[in-house]
Amino acid sequence: MAEILLVLAAYLLGSIPSGLIVGKTFYNTDIREHGSGNLGGTNTFRTLGIKAGLIVTISDILKGTLATALAFWFHSDLHPLLIGLFAVVGHMYPIFAGFRGGKAVATSGGVLLMYSPILFLVLLSSFIFSLNITKMVSLSSMIAALVALAYSLITGDLPLILVVLALTTFVFYRHRANIKRIINKTEPKIKWMSKKKDR
């Protein structure tokens, strides 16, 4: 029973629609009606600006971190990564936002941050490096997911390998429309890095 409650708590944590809350509370804007229609940090950046985007991204990361921490705090028999996985499901399909959520990237990062801070730093570094080259958040997110998978395979940590494989699958599935646009060379690039490079 305790494990079921922890899984449910993780899902509900993940379901907190940070982008929707920030947009409606401080900007009187439903970001689902703008840009990609996504509730994640990227669409928040594009729709509401850098400050709102950072707040939403950090909030989405913390959802995964807190959900994973529940396993440690309550000494659960379930693996912490498994409980964290349900927060990612909640982020993608939030009960509080009509099951229309984000693309799993930030909350997945939060899960890994709690379990392996070094892996999180590796992912963050690979994401920033890729973003600086490609100027595409979607592609950089998928590259970071693959780096996470490679890292987990190197460690030989079976629970980490299995959960990261699931998270990587989530990330690629949620970015399937982006993948088509990348192939067609129509995927939007972030403007502020491009402008900086042009100068």
Rounded distance, CA 188 to CA 174, Å?
Answer: 16
pLDDT at 36: 83
**Domain boundary assignment for the chain:** 2-198
Q: What is the mean pLDDT of the chain?
A: 93
Of 108 and 35, the structure prediction assigns the larger pLDDT to 108
Name the amino acid, one letter, at 109. G
Can you spell out the DSSP letters for 59-104? Answer: HHHHHHHHHHHHHHHTT-SS-HHHHHHHHHHHHHS-GGGTT----S
pLDDT at 192: 60
Q: Which residues contact 18 (CB under 8 A, 6 or more apart)?
A: 39, 55, 56, 59, 60, 63
pLDDT at 198 over 60: no
pLDDT at 35: 84
User: Considering the chain, what percentage of its residues have pLDDT values greater than 90?
Assistant: 87
Of 130 and 194, the structure prediction assigns the larger pLDDT to 130
Whether residue 163 contacts residue 154, with contact meaning beta carbons closer than 8 Å, is answered with no
Across residues 159-163, what is the average pLDDT?
98
> Cα 77 from chain centroid?
25
Cα dihedral 7, 10, 103, 62, rounded to 10, equals: -150
Reported as a pLDDT band with limits 50, 70 and 90, residue 194 is low
pLDDT at 196 over 70: no
pLDDT at 186: 95
pLDDT at 77: 92
pLDDT at 134: 95
Whether residue 167 contacts residue 111, with contact meaning beta carbons closer than 8 Å, is answered with yes
Across residues 11-23, what is the average pLDDT?
96
Name the amino acid, one letter, at 72. F
For the chain, state the CA radius of gyration. 16
Whether residue 44 contacts residue 23, with contact meaning beta carbons closer than 8 Å, is answered with yes
Structure token digits, residue 87? 């927060």
> Cα 114 from chain centroid?
14
Per-residue burial over 54-72, b if 16 or more Cβ lie within 10 Å, else e, is: ebbbebbbbbbbbbbbbbe
Reported as a pLDDT band with limits 50, 70 and 90, residue 197 is very low
Structure token digits, residue 22? 């920030």
pLDDT at 199 over 90: no
Q: Give the closest residue to 15 by CA, choosing from 63, 66, 73, 76.
A: 63
